[in-house]
Structure 1
Amino acid sequence: MNDKRYLIPLEIANATVEVGYAKANKSSLSLLLLGILAGAFIAFGAVGATTMAALVGDKGLAKLIGAALFPIGLMLVIMAGAELFTGNNLMTLGVMTGRYSIKDMLRNWIIVYIGNFIGSIAIAILVAKTGLYLGAVGETAIAIATKKVTIVTNLGLGAIVSRAILCNIIVVLAVWLATGAKDITGKIFACWFPIMLFVLSGYEHSIANMFYIYVGKYMGAEIIESQIWLNNIIPVTIGNLIGGAVIIPISYYLIFFKKKKGKLAIESSK
């Protein structure tokens, strides 16, 4: 019996559609400001992860601790309130059910993506000016940025797109679980473990990479704009879309929604 401390999967599907409807109807200014906040929040998590990667001697332990800190970004997005492009990829579910239009969804995605970029870059600039990234932390930031823009060169386009697909499958599932959690503790755990998993696994997240690559560039990484966008952010964004806007929403659409007498009807949970 559901004690309403959490939603069952069918209820999460319905709630996700309604959350998407609310997102589709927010004003452009609200979306931009909330997008900026989300970019900043994800960057905060990335700062913690980078710092631990530099300061903990054991590489495995450093990666584990960094992965445990990074999810703070999504926790802030979910619980403080912000708009994250990769999480909003779930909005395709509402489009498929007819709750809102593809035009409304694309408006959300474009504005939020721009906002996420602004927030990420703002934190990258501020962090670079703090002096806290000097020494080992700065060297680690440079190494991370350089590695991210050379994945395509070293392993090919398929490698980075695949990593991005896998990343956003996990990210939108974290958002899915957080939607189903009815209290703050449940939402924390819903964000924490899936996001920790994607960081440990080495997957690629477009919004996080905006911070990681640009802060590395500001600290001295020898990379240029074309490398940043063509070698990483654009292919990663495409992969994130495939994972988060195609694979998961279509799967749940086929599971929980069906056409009946020309109309979309929600299947009974019984």
Structure 2
Amino acid sequence: MDYVRPAAVAQAMIDAAGIKLALAPRDLFVRGVLSGALLGISTSLALTAALATGQGFVGAIVFPFGIATIVLLGLELVTGSFGLVPLSWFEGRASLRAVGANIVWVFLGNLVGSVVYGLLLAVVLTNMFTTAPAGLAQRIVQIAEAKTTGYAALGGAGLVVVFVKAMLCNWMVCLSAVLAMTSTSAIGKIVACWLPIFVFFAQGFEHAVVNMFVIPTGMMMGARVTLADWWLWNQIPVTLGNIVGGFFFTGLAIYLTYRPKSAAIGDALAAPLAAE
């Protein structure tokens, strides 16, 4: 059997964090660029499938292609890093500065890859910006506006909604990365990571890297969205929500219950309980 038990998965999570932190900034950036582009490709594929069939559910089925590819190639996706990389700090193997620098490089890479693919797609969909958006292009424009000015119209409630959607999203995305560790075979990893990604996309949750593609691409094709709208009403709150959901609901939760017994954070948390 190629099944890996949860306790071994927890150790694999710690090991994965160490591997990520050992990468040079150049590698983090390049792998981040590729991941951002792949998620853009997955998103445009999913939207194409949904438009062709009239069923968003179909788009959710094909969307996980990007995540599966990232997992198999060992690329860098910042939302997965939110759940895994801080574990090295909890283990006392890395400083918070190193963790932060690692995440920043991957974030920048994801952003560049997403925007570059978005520009290339916009060129294709608008015939080098000579025709008005239609079909897929029009749908991307609509989504870009809904993800920004749509939340802005709700005021403070909009910020709460987008933050919570982001938490729920990265709960699933980080769960996908961890589930891929439960198998040692390629097909097992693909199936395991496919399921949670399908869940998040089907329910319209908010993913920071997907939004790095869809919002600026919509802006390039005429969406009534400013840079401030993009960052203040979506990118910043979504990134923060992704951090909370990915780390607390998946990374830290699984680490605390299945961690190696020598983990310092586990001992620290257990001490007050023992005193009681």
Q: Aligned residues, how many? A: 258
State the partner residue of 2:243. 241
SS at match of 2:153: helix
SS at match of 1:166: helix
The residue correspondences of 1:66-81 to structure 2 (distance < 5 A) are 66-81=59-74
State the partner residue of 1:86. 79
Asked whether the equivalents of residues 36 and 119 of structure 1 are also in contact (C-alpha less than 8 Å), the reply is yes
What amino acid sits opposite 1:107 in the alignment? A
Q: Aligned pair 1:95/2:89, yes or no?
A: yes
Asked whether the equivalents of residues 53 and 140 of structure 1 are also in contact (C-alpha less than 8 Å), the reply is no
Pick which of 201-210 and 146-155 moved more: 146-155
Measured in 2, the distance between the counterparts of 1:234 and 1:264 equals 31
Asked whether the equivalents of residues 97 and 264 of structure 1 are also in contact (C-alpha less than 8 Å), the reply is no
C-alpha displacement of 1:259? 7.0
After superposition, the CA RMSD in angstroms is 2.0
The residue correspondences of 1:1-270 to structure 2 (distance < 5 A) are 3=1, 5-56=2-53, 58=54, 61=55, 63-89=56-82, 90-131=84-125, 134-149=133-148, 150-154=150-154, 155-257=157-259
User: Percent identity, aligned pairs only?
Assistant: 32
Uncovered stretches (5+) of structure 1, i.e. residues with no partner:
266-270
Measured in 2, the distance between the counterparts of 1:130 and 1:148 equals 23
SS at match of 1:156: helix
Measured in 2, the distance between the counterparts of 1:16 and 1:225 equals 36
Asked whether the equivalents of residues 137 and 221 of structure 2 are also in contact (C-alpha less than 8 Å), the reply is yes
- TM-score normalised by L of structure 2: 0.88
Q: Can you list the C-alpha shifts for 1:196-248, whole angstroms capped at 9, x where unaligned? A: 11011111000001101111111111110000000000000000000112332
